[in-house]
Amino acid sequence: MTRAFVVHEAGGPGAMKLEDRDVGDPGPGQLRVRNRAIGLNFVDVYQRSGLYKVETPFVPGNEGAGEVTAVGDGVSEFKPGDRVGYIGPIGAYAEERLLPASRAIPLPGSIDFETAAAAMLKGMTAYYLLFETWKLKAGESILWHAAAGGVGLIACQWANALGATVYGTAGSDEKIALARANGCHEVINYRIENFSGRIRDLTGGRGVDVVYDGVGKVTFEPSLDCLRPRGLMVSFGNASGPVSIPDLGILAAKGSLYLTRPTSGAYFATAEELRRAAAALFEAIAAGKIKVTVNQRFALRDAAEAHRALEGRETTGSTLLLP
């Protein structure tokens, strides 16, 4: 038996119920993994709340790291005792879980469990946004919203290391200082400043090449005013609510802009894609291009409290749940 959080009906943080569950033996192509650290991400909130539809009941959580305790038939690349990390499928908020071997990523000796659980989903999100959604090059400029968040801190460091000019937004003096220390050349307090006007000033009226926006509703339209003609708007999250565009003509009026709504599922559909991104992330961490910041740790049993802190914008960097 193991303990896991289960969502029987979408709702607030209290919708997650801690229960005893029988994990069972791994089936063909599966691993059983004992979690040592579990990553907290906004997608967990979206799924728990019902914004992203998931069939109930389900165990939330999309990222973790731990030890393999058993392998199913047909699995040859892993054995009990191996250290692995993973992103998806859901089911991470548990002491022990079953996992498709194709979603497991071997951890190099330089990457501990906490670093893996704190960095993989966020860092691999940063990877596909910076290297595949838009192949960022030295000399280009970007605006990253929520630059002091888990994805933001990793992405801004990585973008800086690539030679880009990195602008960020944050909502407090503490978060501004943190973003500046982690790759941002300039950081704008979006609570008290007109960030689109400031970006125009900082870029001499040109605008940035790309805006990366995980905030959503409240930042989307002003972000379009931050882009150069034919620039790219990357909307990859909904922290303030979902985005809707009633008239695509707004993209024409603001400079023939491009818009995309990427997800990790489309970029990491295969084990090869997943492990290529992980290798790039681990290499960047080992080279010192990215420093992973874990600023909050909660016991797994306190997952509801962790969700409240995340939704209340009380967290910076990465947050872990520890079984």
β-strand partners of 252: none
Are 220 and 244 in contact by the 8 Å Cβ rule? The answer is no
Interval 152-193: pLDDT, tens: 999 999 999 999 999 999 999 999 999 999 999 999 999 999
Average pLDDT for residues 19-42, to the nearest whole number? 96
Phi first, then psi: what are they for 62, rounded to 5°?
-120, 5
The pLDDT of residue 217: 87
Above pLDDT 70, what percent of the chain?
A: 100
Interval 33-69: pLDDT, tens: 999 999 999 999 999 999 999 999 999 999 999 999 9
| Residue whose C-alpha is closest to residue 38's, from 99, 81, 82 | 99
Pairwise CA distance, residues 145 & 155, whole Å: 11
Pairing state between β 186-189 and 165-170: parallel
Interval 103-161: pLDDT, tens: 999 999 999 999 999 999 999 999 999 999 999 999 999 999 999 999 999 999 999 99
The pLDDT of residue 186: 98
Are 248 and 269 in contact by the 8 Å Cβ rule? The answer is no
The pLDDT of residue 174: 94
Pairwise CA distance, residues 254 & 318, whole Å: 35
Task: Let me know if the fold of 2-120+277-322 is the same as that of 138-261.
Answer: no
The pLDDT of residue 218: 87
CATH superfamily assigned to domain 2-120+277-322: Medium-chain alcohol dehydrogenases, catalytic domain (3.90.180.10)
Query: What are 107's two structure tokens?
Result: 């951890």
Is 138-261 CATH 3.20.20.210? no
Query: What are 74's two structure tokens?
Result: 């047909």
The pLDDT of residue 64: 98
Domain boundaries, the chain: 2-120+277-322, 138-261
Report the chain's C-alpha Rg in angstroms. Answer: 20
Model confidence at 100: pLDDT above 90: yes
Pairwise CA distance, residues 244 & 37, whole Å: 35
